[in-house]
Amino acid sequence: MSLKLKRYFPILQWLPLYGKETLISDLLAALIVTIMLIPQSLAYAMLAGMPPEVGLYASIAPLFLYTIFGTSRSLAIGPVAVISLMTAAAAGNHALEGSPEYITVVLILTLMSGLMLTLMGLVRLGFLANFLSHPVISGFITASGLIIAASQARHLLGLEAEGLNVIMVLYGLIARIPEAHLLTLCIGSGTLVFLYANRRWGRSLLSLIGLNPYTADIFSKAAPVLAVAVTTLVTWHWQLDQAGVKVVGDIPAGLPPFTLPAFIPGLWRDLFLAALLISIVGFVESVSLGQTLAAKQRQRIDPDQELIALGTANLSSAFSGGMPVSGGFARSIVNYDVGAATPAAGTFTAIGILVAALFLTPLIAFLPVATLGATIIVAVLSLIDLPAIKHTFVYSKSDFAAMLATILATLIQGIEIGIMAGVGLSLLLYLYRTSRPHYAVIGRLPNSEHFRNAERHEVETDDKIALLRIDESLYFANSRYLEDIVMGLVISQPKLNHLVLTCQAVNLIDASALDSLRTINSRLKDSGVQMHLAEVKGPVMDRLRKTDFLDEMSGVVYMSTYDAWKVLHERAEEAEDKPEAELKPEAPR
């Protein structure tokens, strides 16, 4: 029972061992992450179409919950760019941004996503995430990065923008650049240039002026806070908001409110798919990040428990005026770098954000929206991974096709269609591939018991014996193709007496393939060719033994291809000496 408790409440594993040293590490990490998280959470709330304070609320309760249920020491939970974008896309279909209905929809999405994640964790469906291939994820993230950057461009220009997809939005904005609000553009592009320069050269510059590389790194990561402070001060001092610079405005100070997401059956049904995609994408992103960080410390995370942790985090977000959350990339890396030792760092971060929500909100009333837009744009530029596209193209055309389909469908048709197109296409391409498997006629490598493709290697063969290696499990999608391959081979080798199917790569023979083997066996028998099997794997053999196929088969099952070759080749040579001899089939072993 205690073991089970510890599995579902990982906090019980590390809390009893908690000491002063860990406390200091965790406090330091929390301080830095808090500073990073404040502008991020405001910005991502804006990206999701929500009031800025919602970003803060979503960075409090979920972090407490993750401390209790999470298994990663370094993962920092909160609003993240891609999930915020997906939230905005889904909610925008059902309500007008800024309306009370919009907030209702986002709370429902958060609740549903929390329920789905928790449920998937309890019934151990973590493996579902595996069906998102790396090229599809990478393509989706790249496309999302582009969409997010485009969606923020309007804040930098001080314009409104509309359009069916990102290409049309960008086109519309570029056409209207002359109408841009000049002061806003100055603040936005100034921040953009500063943040971008900091990202490229900040660390080296800070090292040059004498900071050690570690401190330089931390300071450089806190640059967005500096940008927020400076632009807020400037705007406040010269009252730029009066001159038309859009600012965040009054944010209510206080504890996160208690919110009860409405139960509206029709709306829940309509939001189902969006909530599911938000859940899966958030989970995949979070768990890959968690695994990468855990591997660096020789630790492991439990994907099913991570589902529960993310699920409860989202549930708490739904009841405390928040929005969907997940593990954030940049802040988790920082959390890891500065040495967070336990998930307690998350709780300390939550306390930091709580303090900010209680006392700091009046200070950011004059924060220009353009500053937040620039923060987001620089953050998502790192999501766009062009080298990955190139590598995938070189390595595998079908992976590249899935990636390209994901990118294009996401950009043109939107997020949900994009990710489903990617998953669908990658599955179809895999199925298509297995439906026309690679196969090889193999022969013996001289002086060995090893057999390889006769077209690639110098091998020994015998025109009375065909050793055929099928490089795929035999199942319904390729069973008819198998019949074609075998009959084609038999027609091409008129002297053939024995066909050996080498099954080293056959991991499954399903009912359709079994029917095909029966058909092949009886056709071969009619043509005077015996059919044998070799290297049939344990689980496959167990199944075949349940049928009468092994009795029906004209030949026998050999342990190895070499065994088959030895017996049949010798027999063929004997027959050559006494061509009149009757060959009796040997007894099955």
Range 113-132, binding a second copy (CB under 8 A): 127, 129-132
Give the distance, in angstroms, between the CA of residue 167 and the centroid of all CA atoms in the same chain. Answer: 25
* Cβ neighbours for 392, distance < 8 A, ≥ 6 positions apart: 135, 138, 399, 400, 403
The pairing of beta strand 498-502 with beta strand 451-453: unpaired
Give 354-358 contacts, CB < 8 A, sequence gap 24+: 354/60, 354/255, 356/34, 356/38, 356/56, 357/53, 357/56, 357/57, 357/60, 357/253, 357/254, 357/255, 357/256, 358/253, 358/254, 358/255
Q: Rounded to whole angstroms, how far apart are CA atoms 10 and 195?
A: 38
Residue 497 CB, shortest distance to a second copy, in Å, is: 18
Beta 439-444 vs 451-453: how paired, if at all? Answer: antiparallel
Residues 424-483 that bind a second copy (CB under 8 A): 426-427, 430-431, 433-438, 440, 445, 448-450, 452-453, 456, 471-473, 475-481
How far apart (Å, rounded) are the C-alpha atoms in residues 450 and 458? Answer: 12
Of 519, 442, 507, 440, residue with least CA distance to 479: 519
**Closest C-alpha to 44, from 260, 318, 312, 328:** 328
Binding region for a second copy (CB under 8 A) out of 79-87, 103-111, 357-365, 559-567: 559-567
Please, what is the minimum distance in Å from the beta carbon of residue 383 to a second copy? 17
Q: Which of residues 290-309 bind a second copy (CB under 8 A)?
A: 295, 298, 300
Query: Where do we find the tokens 């806070």?
Result: 225
Decide if residue 523 touches a second copy (CB under 8 A).
yes
DSSP 586: P
Question: For a second copy, which residue of 394, 495, 577, 589 counts as binding (CB under 8 A)?
Answer: 394
- For residue 264, which of 112, 54, 83, 49 has the smallest C-alpha distance? 112
| Shortest Cβ 488–a second copy spacing (Å) | 10
Of 155 and 469, the one with the shorter C-beta distance to a second copy is 469
Note whether 140 binds a second copy by CB under 8 A.
Answer: no
- Whichever of 462 and 472 has its CB closer to a second copy, that residue is 472
- Using CB under 8 A as the binding rule, whether residue 515 contacts a second copy is answered as yes
Please, which of residues 67-86 interact with a second copy by CB under 8 A? none
What distance in Å separates the CA atoms of residue 479 and residue 531, rounded to the nearest whole number? Answer: 16
The smaller minimum CB distance to a second copy, of residues 199 and 457, is found at 457
Residue 273 makes contact with a second copy by CB under 8 A: no
| Chain residues 185-224 in contact with a second copy, contact rule CB under 8 A | none
In the complex, least distance from residue 68 CB atom to a second copy, rounded to whole angstroms: 25
Of 304 and 462, which has the nearer Cβ to a second copy? 304
Asked if residue 519 binds a second copy (CB under 8 A), the reply is yes
Site string for a second copy, 492-511 (x = CB under 8 A): ------------xxxxx-xx
Number of residues that bind a second copy (CB under 8 A): 71
Q: Could you tell me the smallest distance in angstroms from the CB atom of residue 381 to a second copy?
A: 22
**Interface pick for a second copy out of 19, 387, 538, 579 (rule CB under 8 A):** 538
Judged by CB under 8 A, does residue 589 bind a second copy?
A: no
Rounded-to-integer distance, Cα 491 and Cα 56, Å: 73
CB of 489 to a second copy, least distance (A): 14
Q: Are 412 and 167 spatial neighbours (Cβ–Cβ below 8 Å)?
A: yes
Give the separation between CA 267 and CA 102, rounded to whole angstroms. 12
- Measured from the CB atom, the residue of 261 and 290 that comes closer to a second copy is 290
d(CA 90, CA 415): 9
- Which residue in the set 7, 525, 537, 569 belongs to the binding site for a second copy (CB under 8 A)? 537
Q: How far apart are CA 88 and CA 416, in angstroms?
A: 12
Letter string b/e over residues 458-482, b meaning 16 or more CB atoms within 10 A of that residue's CB = ebebbebbbbbbbebbbbebbbebb
82: Cβ contacts below 8 Å, ≥ 6 apart? 140, 141, 144, 148, 281, 285, 383
For the bound state, the minimum distance from the C-beta of residue 207 to a second copy, rounded and expressed in Å, comes to 28
Query: Which range, of 18-26, 157-165, 305-313, 387-395, touches a second copy by CB under 8 A?
Result: 387-395
Instruction: Name the residue nearer to a second copy (CB basis): 189 or 291.
Output: 291
Is 517 a binder of a second copy (CB under 8 A)?
A: no
Of the candidate residues 96, 395, 552, 570, the single one contacting a second copy (CB under 8 A) = 395
> Applying CB under 8 A, which of residues 255, 264, 355, 559 lies at the interface with a second copy?
559
Q: Work out which of 7, 94, 134, 246 binds a second copy, going by CB under 8 A.
A: 134
On whether the CB atoms of residues 329 and 80 are closer than 8 A, the answer is yes
